[in-house]
Amino acid sequence: MVQLTGKNIVITGASGGIGAEIAKLCAARGANLVLLARSMDKLEQLQNSLQERYQVKVDVFQLDVSDTNQVQKVFKQIDETINEVDILVNNAGFGVFREAHEATIEEIKGMFNVNVVGLMVCTSMVLPKMRERRFGHIINIASQAGKIATPKSSVYSATKHAVLGFTNSLRMELADFNVYVTSVNPGPIATNFFTIADEKGTYVKNVQRFMLKPEYVAQKVVNAMITPTREINLPRWMNMGSIIYILMPRLFERLGKRAFNKK
């Protein structure tokens, strides 16, 4: 059981899904929270619920991570409010499942601005103090899509490949500063992510029996906080696929073609 009492934890995309579940588990362990998302109504509802149930300090800020100026402004407010961030969970993200020729410029820019640039800018706002204090933990929610590219997720997969590249480099940069960096690579999770990503519902219907529960993913993330965990790969059998993909990419793509085209 990781000791989080009194730790200051910032979570982006905290209004629902695994972000909200991570917040609940952290509050149960006595952490102080800063919750960020675009939906202020949902954030305030979660804030009231957590403060009433766990008697912890919960601050909320409206934030669209794709807006760099807003990210800088909000993180300055966070700095004034709690002074030190112990753990940053970069959870905000979205995807749209389309073939490459169907993806609009707006969708491409939107996914990169939220999933990649937003994550990087949020991270840059807490790094100086973490390095100075020689303490902290950056947790980036990536995806198995960052390891195995599949049809109809070319742009989304590209953003998650970028997140993994950034995360792996950052981990090495911070190795001598006692700041941990963890990537979380889940398969499909039963959240409202697919409301946008899978408009037709085809993918959800085909993989529903394999979908992870957000509570389960959140538990794995919280258990890894303030530990030198390199990666969290869920489910394990799906991560084995990424290993085989690295070793035998051509065979993997040929044999997996039918499964990949279920979107």
How would you list the strands of the sheet with 87-90, edge to edge?
58-62, 32-37, 8-12, 87-90, 136-141, 179-186, 231-234
Give the C-alpha distances (Å, rounded to integers) separating 229 from 40, 137, 181, 195, 221.
Answer: 32, 10, 8, 31, 10
Q: Say which residue the tokens 């009492």 belong to.
A: 5
Q: Say which residue the tokens 């911070």 belong to.
A: 174
Q: State the Cα–Cα distance between residues 211 and 116, nearest whole angstrom.
A: 24
- In sequence order, the β-bridge partners of residue 179 are 136
Q: Is 13 left (phi over 0), alpha (psi -120 to 50) or beta?
A: left
| Cβ atoms of residues 224 and 182 within 8 Å | yes
Look at residues 57, 19, 55, 26 and name the one whose alpha carbon lies nearest to residue 193: 19
Active site residue 216: no
E strands present in 121-252: 136-141, 179-186, 231-234
Selected catalytic residue, list 54, 156, 203, 216:
156
| Cβ atoms of residues 143 and 185 within 8 Å | yes
Catalytic (active-site) positions: 156
